[in-house]
Structure 1
Amino acid sequence: MNKELVLVTISGPDHPGITAALMNCICKSKARIEDMGQSITHGLLSLSILLNMTKAEGEQDNSPLIKDLLFTAKKMGVELDFEIIEDKEMIKAPGDKYILSCVSLGGITSDFIYDISKTLADNNINIQRIENVTENEFKSLEIGTRAESQDVQWEQVKEQLINLSNKHETDLALLKDDVWRRNKRLIVFDMDSTLIQSEVIVEMAKAHGVGDKVHEITERAMEGHLNFDESLVERVRLLKGLREDLLQEIVEEIKLTEGVEDFVKTVKALGYKVAIISGGFTYFANYFKERLGIDYAFANDLHIENGVLTGDIKGSIVNAEKKAMLVDLLAQQEGIRLEQVVAIGDGANDLHMLAKAGLGIAFHAKEIVKQSAKQHMSHGPMTSILYFLGIPGAQD
């Protein structure tokens, strides 16, 4: 038996009681709701209800329901229309569902929406819903999408979205629309140039008069002549003799990244655990752990004797592989899945960690890091990431 499906659409000025009145009509009939969607745009209601009005043998005809719905809609001051839907039209598209989260401090523009919608269409991705998630402003959208086939080239889509993000100065995240999207429980920060605005070892080198030498080693590492471990050992060796008491002066001059304090305060209030996993040093990581009320901090431990640095590192180096391993261990410690972890970093040393987490975000990172990471945030403050977590209005 084919289903007798009727799509009812309601529009008009929104006010309390409309949905309840319509549901009361449906409850009195034998019709079943197959699907439903409702949204409000600037005080105007848009409500769609897909009704299965198939009559079983011996059941009363459902046709009076449409008349009742029309009468009720008139009484509530809204417009109601309906159409018969063929059962075969209800076959759902086979592709993946994603949420495209868009955040722009300057406001979402029509040019941006045109470019996004055309890019999605060109890649055979259908827009299913668009929702403004900033109250009284137009700065953040959630765009619900579904791929119309299994052949979507997602890496190509990602590259195109990065280009649009740069063009419109709007941060974008393409998030799998699944149960884990709003069920994150652990936030992991890199420290240097992510949690804070500085590179700690650079500030230490300046204080010790070896800034140029440390910069030269850093450049050699970036050119691929040294790996992270080798470059760190060489740079720390140059810090031999730096007085321990100067570390306090250095750390007090370091500025937090814009939005970090509000971001941490918000996620902590919502029950998230927060960690620092840094290729920097424990003295600084522990300082910011205490200052911000962060739960965990991991970094390299400088060897200090008689109040001065010896130029050595105690224990194993926190490199890219160690960072990823610590993310694994923290997830186990908290009894959560990796899909519930958010990792935020800016450098190549963070890529393993970003890949390990369910949501890895390259924060104001170099282009090569943005291309490799799952998501990136390049324009807004740290609080903009709250929108990626499904926490709307948190910046207001």
Structure 2
Amino acid sequence: MSASQIPPATAVPGDDVPTLLVKIFGKDRPGITAGLFDTLAAYSVDVVDIEQVVTRGRITLCALVTSPSPSPAQGTTGSSEGDLRATVHSWAESLNLQAEIISGRGDNRPRGTGRSHVTVLGHPLTAETAAAIAAAITASGGNIDRIFRLAKYPVTAVEFAVSGAATEALRTVLAPEAAQLGVDIAVVAAGLQRRAQRLVVMDVDSTLIQDEVIELFAAHAGCEAEVAEVTAAAMRGELDFEQSLHARVELLGGLDASVVEAVRKEVRLTPGARTLVRTLKRLGYQVGVVSGGFTQVTDALKEELGLDFASANTLEIVDGRLTGRVTGDIVDRAGKARLLREFAQQAGVPLAQTVAIGDGANDLDMLNTAGLGVAFNAKPVVREAAHTAVNVPFLDTVLYLLGITREEVEAAETHVG
């Protein structure tokens, strides 16, 4: 078809144009959607909007169409709308479906400015929780345009499409609700960037993996208690991260380098970690890790999981033994944020499209630098500062915060094999 043969687009109905909302309910089966539009086609109506959802085998199909014009035989006072109504009801009854047809004018009312995706993770998700969240959205001036389920396992994840309220205002209102209700809620701005290529950067210890790597090394050196005491001093603010790192690594001096391989074998991935990375990679995302731990472990994780980026501190090894020192620049709180920026630049991804995941105070700069910062089973101070939090022990639930459904996850897993 040449450009001159392409028909002009039909104008969007104005407020004065008569329209019909045709709603079909009943047991789902193949062919219902095609059958409805075959029935409507006899009246030469234009389709303005369509919405369909299937829940537990029951279909709700809505079609907003222009009202049919009177046929010449009916004259100016006749109307084929009555015929359309009768025909649709007859077709529905033949399939044991229910039909409702509502007259009106124009298209759907315009949605308010300010659009957001509100993702809720519940384990379980109760009716009381859903009611409280919906009420909070309404109180903030928002309107819920659509709700759909992203996943039912390992958590129930649902997403609210909300208009009429600013994203930051919604986040402010819903954060305390999440804490009170014991669910996780993420609020992100709607837009094309949500499905654009992204960069996801994670902390390692107690995030990508279940362990604290320096504690694994300390167990081999027989100095677990001393390392734990230095860690506690750092948490009390008596030492900064760099001081505490040097103090703890010094305790490892003299260990045979073979301990590195032993520690690698002891590392346990967090449940859902492999699924998270596989799915992101299959969908075209880039994935990296930054760690206050050691390259001797993160390099192995990079190779095992097929990560795009990895950076950590490096244990110095001389003559086959750990010296008790680290080499190179220290990856601390500020360093993690700096590395996120560097990875984003290398990946060609704007910071607004980056996602950072971490659990500790030394992750805070990184979480706040990213377009979306996710506190994963984190301390209260980290949860409060991050954009959103996940408090279930499954790392792949972060996928739902990105709008990725369980079906997409399973498809990615099947593809990988």
Q: What CA distance in whole angstroms lies between the structure 1 residues aligned with 2:369 and 2:25?
A: 45
Q: Give yes or no for the alignment of 1:159 onto 2:176.
A: yes
Q: Give yes or no for the alignment of 1:99 onto 2:117.
A: yes
In structure 1, list runs of 5 or more residues that go unmatched.
none
Q: What CA distance in whole angstroms lies between the structure 1 residues aligned with 2:201 and 2:154?
A: 30
Q: Secondary structure of 1:133's partner?
A: strand
2:193 aligned partner: 180
Q: Give yes or no for the alignment of 1:41 onto 2:33.
A: no
Kept in 2, the 8 Å contact 1:4–1:54? The answer is no
Q: Secondary structure of 1:194's partner?
A: coil
Match of 1:356 among 351, 369, 374: 369
Q: Give yes or no for the alignment of 1:90 onto 2:104.
A: no
Kept in 2, the 8 Å contact 1:22–1:73? The answer is no
1:120 aligned partner: 137
Q: Secondary structure of 2:389's partner?
A: strand
Q: Which moved more, 1:131-140 or 1:321-330?
A: 131-140
Q: Give yes or no for the alignment of 1:19 onto 2:38.
A: no
Kept in 2, the 8 Å contact 1:233–1:312? The answer is yes
Read off the aligned partner of 1:383 and give its amino acid letter: D
Match of 1:308 among 321, 326, 332: 321
1:71 aligned partner: 87
Q: What does residue range 190-269 of structure 1 map to in structure 2 within 5 Å?
A: 190-269=203-282
After superposition, give the CA deviation of every residue in 1:311-334 in whole Å (9 maximum; x if it has no partner).
322111112222222222222222
Q: What CA distance in whole angstroms lies between the structure 1 residues aligned with 2:145 and 2:107?
A: 19
After superposition, give the CA deviation of every residue in 1:80-136 in whole Å (9 maximum; x if it has no partner).
333344569824323x2222223344x433233233223333333332222233479
1:290–1:67 CA distance, 2 compared to 1 (3 A): same
Match of 2:160 among 128, 134, 143: 143
Q: What CA distance in whole angstroms lies between the structure 1 residues aligned with 2:105 and 2:327?
A: 71
Q: Secondary structure of 1:233's partner?
A: helix
Kept in 2, the 8 Å contact 1:184–1:341? The answer is no
Read off the aligned partner of 1:202 and give its amino acid letter: E
Give the length in aligned residue pairs.
Answer: 387
Read off the aligned partner of 2:279 and give its amino acid letter: T
Q: Secondary structure of 2:192's partner?
A: coil
In structure 2, list runs of 5 or more residues that go unmatched.
1-13, 70-74
After superposition, give the CA deviation of every residue in 1:342-385 in whole Å (9 maximum; x if it has no partner).
32211111122222333321111111111111111111411222
Read off the aligned partner of 1:180 and give its amino acid letter: Q
Match of 1:392 among 406, 409, 412: 406
Read off the aligned partner of 1:280 and give its amino acid letter: G
Q: What does residue range 289-328 of structure 1 map to in structure 2 within 5 Å?
A: 289-328=302-341
Q: Secondary structure of 2:316's partner?
A: strand
Kept in 2, the 8 Å contact 1:99–1:176? The answer is yes
1:326–1:65 CA distance, 2 compared to 1 (3 A): farther
Q: What CA distance in whole angstroms lies between the structure 1 residues aligned with 2:152 and 2:210?
A: 30
Q: Secondary structure of 1:197's partner?
A: coil
Matched residues, percent identical?
A: 33
Return the offset for 1:240: 2.5
RMSD across aligned positions (CA):
3.2
Q: What CA distance in whole angstroms lies between the structure 2 residues aligned with 1:140 and 1:152?
A: 22
Kept in 1, the 8 Å contact 2:184–2:388? The answer is no
1:137–1:70 CA distance, 2 compared to 1 (3 A): farther
1:74–1:138 CA distance, 2 compared to 1 (3 A): farther
Kept in 2, the 8 Å contact 1:123–1:157? The answer is no
1:84–1:267 CA distance, 2 compared to 1 (3 A): same
Q: What CA distance in whole angstroms lies between the structure 1 residues aligned with 2:378 and 2:280?
A: 23
Q: Which moved more, 1:44-53 or 1:250-259?
A: 44-53
1:81–1:45 CA distance, 2 compared to 1 (3 A): same
1:137–1:332 CA distance, 2 compared to 1 (3 A): closer
